[in-house]
Amino acid sequence: MIDILISSKTRVKLLLKFFLNASTKAYLRGLEEEFGESTNGIRLELNRFEEAGMLQSYSHGNKKFFKVNTKHPLFEDIHNIVLKFVGLDKIVDSIISQLGSLEEVYVVGNFARGLDCDIIDLVFVGQVNQAYLVELIAKAEMKISRKIRYITYEQSEFSLDKIKDGLAEPLLLWSK
């Protein structure tokens, strides 16, 4: 859907990178390696986003880092569009709202890093009926045309340190 409206593949990748997880920070060479594209095309799109006020930049050493401007008037709207593109809105509707006594749900892995892929990694925290969760996951996978991997933790055994992978902060998708 979003790739039909926005013809630049680089722009779509940057939207996913920065607007899926607002804590994401990146620099030009890192994006070049991650996307497998030339720095010229990426730089052009980064400059456009920065001129529009959607991204902010700062220097650290000899690198210019970019991050999303969460105070931009369109941030929430673009963030919601990206969530819908990925299918996370349907996960909330199909799974989380029906499970009952959940405390939190996190997105980890590639999507927490802002990378589009065929697998969504989720962490469920709270009391979960495993058999019912498997059934709901199967239904949600059909709706979003992506595979969902998940792990569950009881609230007493959970800590954010268990799900941090060093590359990106876990993205809190839902909280009680």
Task: Give this prediction's pTM.
Answer: 0.74
d(CA 56, CA 66): 6
Domain boundary pick from 68, 101, 126: 68
Looking at the predicted structure, is the pLDDT value of residue 132 above 80? yes
Flag whether 6 is in a domain.
Answer: yes
Which residue range is the domain that position 54 belongs to? 2-68
Please report, for the domain that includes residue 100, its CATH number.
3.30.460.10
Task: Measure Cα distances from 32 to 39, 46, 146 in Å.
Answer: 6, 12, 26
Number of domains in the chain: 2
Domain match, 114 and 169 both: yes
Which residue(s) pair with 58 in the sheet?
A: 65
pLDDT of residue 1: 60
Domain match, 97 and 49 both: no
Q: Band of the pLDDT at 41, cuts 50, 70, 90?
A: very high
Domain match, 98 and 42 both: no
Domain match, 105 and 163 both: yes
pLDDT of residue 70: 96
Average pLDDT, the chain: 89
For residues 41 and 31, the answer to whether their CB atoms sit within 8 Å is no
Burial class, 156, CB count within 10 angstroms (exposed 0-12 / middle 13-18 / buried 19+): exposed
Q: Band of the pLDDT at 168, cuts 50, 70, 90?
A: confident
- Percent with pLDDT over 70 in the chain: 96
Tens-place pLDDT, residues 52-103: 999 999 999 999 999 999 999 999 999 999 888 888 877 877 777 677 688 9
pLDDT of residue 98: 75
Flag whether 76 is in a domain.
Answer: no
Average pLDDT estimate for 108-126:
90
Flag whether 111 is in a domain.
Answer: yes
Tell which wins on pLDDT, 92 or 172. Answer: 172
Burial class, 140, CB count within 10 angstroms (exposed 0-12 / middle 13-18 / buried 19+): buried
